Amino acid sequence: AVLRLEKMITASGGKVFATNGKKADFHTTLKKCQEAGGSIATPRNPGENDAILYFVKFFNTYAYLGIKESLIPSKFQFLDGTQLSYTNWHLNEPSGKGEEECVEMYTDGTWNDKRCNQNRLIVCQF
């Protein structure tokens, strides 16, 4: 396999983040990242958030993060069910109250809860 860098790979805290520059809905993003041997990008600190933000800014588009709403509306968690130890919510977010189960990153690096059927930049972590 050839490793192509071309503004498609960045690293932080021992994780490598990568994108193919394509967009997909949340469930397709999960599938694509798993097929590539990784998982959807999930920032657990400011450095990792910045690594993902690099792609969001470069492609000037939002990206889904590996965070989902729990069974309690407006309470979010990692996909493995553990609680968030780091957050970077945009002002007055999350605001979906059960209607918006996924989380996207804005071009300023802050987060917003969003419906899962929108097409967003695919960013995976390895």
Residue 113: the pLDDT is: 97
CATH number, residue 66: 3.10.100.10
Q: What is the DSSP letter of 86?
A: -
67 is a domain residue = yes
Residues whose CB falls within 8 Å of the CB of residue 83, separated by 6 or more in sequence, listed in order: 77
Confidence of residue 10 (pLDDT cuts 50, 70, 90): confident
| Residue at 69 is within a domain | yes
Q: Would 3 be classed as within a structural domain?
A: no
Contact between 41 and 79 under an 8 Å Cβ cutoff? The reply is no
pTM metric for this prediction: 0.91
Interval 64-120: pLDDT, tens: 999 999 998 889 999 999 999 999 999 999 999 889 999 999 999 999 999 999 999
Residue 28 domain-assigned (yes or no): yes
Going from the C-alpha of 92 to that of each of 19, 68, 77, 89, the distances in angstroms are 29, 17, 18, 8
Query: What is the count of structural domains for the chain?
Result: 1
